[in-house]
Amino acid sequence: MFVIKQIQREQVGLVAEIIREAYKEQARLLDITKENYPSYAGFESKTDIEEALSKGFKVCLLYEEKQAIGTIRYWIDRNNKEKGYISRLAVLPTFCNKGGGSLLLKHAENALYARGVKRIEICFIKDCKEFETFYKERGYKVTTDLMVNALPYGVRYMELNKATNCLVMDQC
């Protein structure tokens, strides 16, 4: 049984460990090292997470039984309260494809919607087709592709619009 809980400050190290482990294979495949690309999401540190929390970002852990197996981060745009962001969706490799990532994503979406958000944006490495498929299956649409100077790859942005994503009007 899965349970999602917002993290406590003393859990930032656990979140960083999960992100590093979940992103490790992607970094290997893309030949990304901490020395060459320190801003890569897979090199998240305790300090990075503490800084995100201090800015009001929400960070949650996914548990199966009592073991933390995944994490997600989300926040609302400071200049546009109808826009939210989701990032650092990560599930430990041995627990992938069991529904945990979908639960984390839905949890973050619902939390943002409950705070008045109408549009949610996510981004990921453009060449990771599995990510694109995952998000498209959940209603996200591609909006932009960009190159990031600090990284060796393109980034794909996708968006979920609450107004066009609702199937039952009572749930909007």
Dist CA 108 CA 133 (whole Å): 19
CA dist., res. 123 & res. 156, Å (int): 5
Confidence at residue 170, expressed as pLDDT on a 0 to 100 scale: 39
Q: pTM here? A: 0.90
Residue spans per domain, the chain: 2-171
Mean pLDDT by 10 residues, the chain (172 residues): 94 97 92 88 94 96 96 97 97 95 97 96 90 95 87 89 56 38
**Torsion angles phi and psi, residue 155, rounded to 5:** -115, 135
Whether residue 6 contacts residue 60, with contact meaning beta carbons closer than 8 Å, is answered with yes
CATH of 2-171, one of 3.40.50.2000, 3.40.50.10800, 3.40.630.30, 3.40.50.1100: 3.40.630.30
C-alpha distances in angstroms, 136 versus 93, 95, 114, 168? 21, 21, 22, 19
Q: How would you label 143-159 residue by residue, b for 16+ Cβ within 10 Å and e otherwise?
A: eeeeeeeebebeebbbb
Helical H segments across the chain, by residue range? 12-29, 46-54, 100-114, 129-136, 162-165
The type of residue at 93 is: P
Unique residue bearing structure tokens 């990284």: 151
Return the closest-CA partner of residue 89 out of 53, 64, 62: 62
Tokens read off for 89: 């969706």
By DSSP bridging, strand 58-64 and strand 2-6 are antiparallel
Question: What's residue 1's pLDDT?
Answer: 86
Bridge partners of 55? Answer: none
Residue found by looking up tokens 């209603």 in the block: 139
